[in-house]
Amino acid sequence: MANPILVLAEQVRGELADITFEMLGAGRALAIASGAPLYAALLGSEAAPLAAKLGAADKVFTVEHPHLDLAPAGTVAAALKGLVDHTQAGLVLLGCTNVSLGIGSMLAAHSGLPLVNFCRAITFQAGTLTCTSQLFGGKILSDVKLADGRGIVSVYPGAFPVDAGKHDGTPPVEKVDLAVEAPKAVFKRYVEPETGDVDITKQDVLVGVGRGIQTQDNVQLAEDLAQILGGAVCASRPVIDQGWLPLSRQVGKSGMTVKPRVYLALGISGAPEHWEGMQNAQCIIAVNTDPKAPIFDGAHYGVVGDVLELLPVLTEKIKARKAT
Amino acid sequence: MNLYVLLKMVPDTVEELNVSADGQSLDSEFLRFKLSEPDDHALEQALLLKEKHGGTVTVVALDAPEVDDVLFTALAKGGDRAVKIPIAQAGLGTAASAGVLAAFFAAPGAITPDTLLLPGSQAIDDLEGELAPLLAAALNLPYVGVVCGVQAADGKATILKEFAGGLRAEFEVALPAVLGIQSAEKPPRYVPVAKVRAAMKSATIDTAELAPPDRPVQLDIARLYKPEAAGRAEMVEGAPADVADKLVDVLAKHSVV
Ligand SMILES: Cc1cc2nc3c(=O)[nH]c(=O)nc-3n(C[C@H](O)[C@H](O)[C@H](O)COP(=O)(O)OP(=O)(O)OC[C@H]3O[C@@H](n4cnc5c(N)ncnc54)[C@H](O)[C@@H]3O)c2cc1C
Ligand SMILES: Nc1ncnc2c1ncn2[C@@H]1O[C@H](COP(=O)(O)O)[C@@H](O)[C@H]1O
């Protein structure tokens, strides 16, 4: 695996996203194990000031072009293909995020490199690069081997520590001139997050409900518990998609990242896209009828049981405890 | 509008998933399949667009267990035409599936100037990546993923794409285009079983014969396995009242009670 490792830096509104540093940290470990250099790719008209923050890379390659600002996956992939050719990179790391979704697949289509999705761990041992991915909502893992360490790997946020990819040094930067086609999908405007009645990112206690809550009416059981605890109700995507709670209450990849003191995960399976948004809660209590639900692998306390049965009892017990 | 929705069957993760003896695939014996959730939203989005702008909704699927039920359900909801490609979806990676579907859409007349291809944004098993961008690359069409709203006018679509933290952005694309749908503007509609049964009696599923892919899987999958039960959670057991008592203690320990 002598070819360089190239990390696609991800930015949202002019700021580098954490996933960039997570990948640089993971890339550095691979670079040490394999002897390959670690490069970062930075695209867009505001590349220069951001490049200085990528000191964990041996070198930063920028393509500065306004067409690359908020560009669709196809435009980004074409520029990235240009950088892969320019740097002779063998391994490309990019974020398994809403921002980067599709870029890896497009790059695979244009470069012939295989793509490994949903990756949580990468090892380089005895000359073999192995990627471990999380499939089926976290219920199954897969190990994929990449021949000669060549491929595109889409990395889950939260899989690697951020700090390992942060470095004070200023990296050398090379500006690469590439022809960039006008994007076929044109950015018009941001639609700001709805400001709901409560800001779930500011709560000490969150009562999270998932599909296991079963009906809109049952959400009231969670509201009752949240009220007695002085917290708020939030939810996984299916509950929001059903319209049972407003978008401002969604936790996870597309929704909010929350860090309450206590997070109750009620009827939530613990899919990686939900876990991403609540993994840093100080105490996670999961209630699920399925003893094999992935949420139990990460929660601090677990109850195998029916939330509909437990919720009213728990609310009453708290009322009683508060009265004493 | 000429609207296509691509439907994919995925294992229902509410059931226990087991790996087969070869360590390369899921044990099919106890698998139950259901429509991939974003596809249900893609169908809803297509039906909403048809209601507004007229046109036809065609649903397309590869062969898979229970897929006929899903195709008839789509017709009962308001779809106009269902096409099944008699190539088994099982064992095909995303690249191979995309190749088959690209061949379907490359047929003369399939893609018109007012066509939108609406696959789901992403499925829970797409180890090789997502089909929507691969299809767009093969057909040389514009693509946007994680779409949660579509408006159409004058040969263009204005779409809403999700970022993180509730932030979304509007993009504009000229048709024809491929949009990976994450969620529809409204929750997917419900259709009574009686209507599905009626569709089964009156409607037909067309088939489109295509060459099977010569390379079903691109990746070298060493093994599939279940995660080690890390068992970090301390399990609280007992009758609901006992469990509740213990949870109140935990809450008190974290000073929220
Ligand atoms: C691009 C993308 C972005 C996404 N963004 C997000 C996001 O921001 N947030 C998010 O949450 N998801 C997101 N998802 C979806 C995510 O992959 C999962 O589908 C989702 O988190 C599952 O929600 P759930 O756990 O409520 O439902 P399920 O996975 O269906 O789990 C329901 C659980 O409830 C349990 N249950 C059923 N009945 C009961 C009962 N009576 N008592 C107790 N337990 C019960 C079941 O055993 C099961 O474990 C995203 C997906 C994609 C592809
Ligand atoms: N075998 C298939 N048959 C029909 N549609 C598919 C198939 N595979 C993928 N798709 C479509 O592509 C979307 C994304 O799937 P995936 O590529 O598995 O992430 C799905 O939601 C479907 O709309």
Residue A324 has pLDDT above 90, yes or no: no
Print the domain residue range for A84: 5-175
CATH number of the domain to which A259 belongs: 3.40.50.1220
For A74-111, give the secondary structure using H, E and C.
HHHHHHHHHHHHHHCCCEEEEECCCCCCCHHHHHHHHH
Q: Are residues A144 and A233 in the same domain?
A: no
- Can you give the pLDDT at residue A197? 83
What are the Cα distances from residue A31, in Å, to A123, A195, A301? 11, 43, 38
Give domain B2-207's CATH number out of 2.40.30.30, 3.90.1150.10, 3.40.50.620, 3.40.50.300. 3.40.50.620
- Is the CB of residue A110 less than 8 Å away from at least one CB of chain B? yes
Q: Is residue A190 part of a domain?
A: no
Residue A188 has pLDDT above 90, yes or no: yes
d(CA A99, CA B163): 6
Out of A19, A254, A292, mutate this one to test ligand 1's pocket (max ligand atoms within 8 Å of CB): namely: A254
Q: Which tokens hold the place of A209?
A: 């409900």
- Can you give the pLDDT at residue A187? 96
Decide if A297 and B231 are in contact by the 8 Å CB cutoff. yes
pTM as predicted: 0.95
- Can you give the pLDDT at residue A48? 87
Q: Is the minimum distance from the CB of A55 to ligand 1 under 6 angstroms?
A: no
Preceding amide of A72 cis, omega within 30: no
Ligand 1 atom closest to residue A253's alpha carbon, by position in its atom list:
8
Complete DSSP assignment for A248-284 = GGBBSSSSB----SEEEEES----HHHHHHHTT-SEE
What are the Cα distances from residue B164, in Å, to A254, B2, B74? 4, 31, 31
- B225 to chain A: which residues are within 8 Å by CB? 140-143
- Can you give the pLDDT at residue B15? 87
- A304 to chain B: which residues are within 8 Å by CB? 235, 237
B72-128 pLDDT tens trace: 999 999 999 999 999 999 989 999 999 999 999 999 999 999 999 999 999 999 999
ipTM of this complex: 0.95
Average pLDDT estimate for A167-191: 95
A286-305 pLDDT tens trace: 999 999 999 999 999 999 99
- Closest residue to A190, CB basis, from B13, B167, B245: B167
Q: Is residue A208 part of a domain?
A: yes
- Can you give the pLDDT at residue B231? 63
Percent of chain B with pLDDT over 70: 99
- Is the CB of residue B234 less than 8 Å away from at least one CB of chain A? yes
Ligand nearest to the CA of A156: 1
Decide if B250 and A283 are in contact by the 8 Å CB cutoff. yes
Q: Are residues A157 and A12 in the same domain?
A: yes
Decide if B220 and A147 are in contact by the 8 Å CB cutoff. yes
d(CA A274, CA A257): 9
d(CA A259, CA A208): 12
d(CA A131, CA A146): 8
Average pLDDT estimate for A47-53: 93
Residue B229 has pLDDT above 80, yes or no: no
Residue B201 has pLDDT above 80, yes or no: yes
Domain residue ranges in chain B: 2-207
- Can you give the pLDDT at residue B24? 87
Q: Whose CA is nearest to atom 53 of ligand 1?
A: B122
Decide if A146 and B220 are in contact by the 8 Å CB cutoff. yes
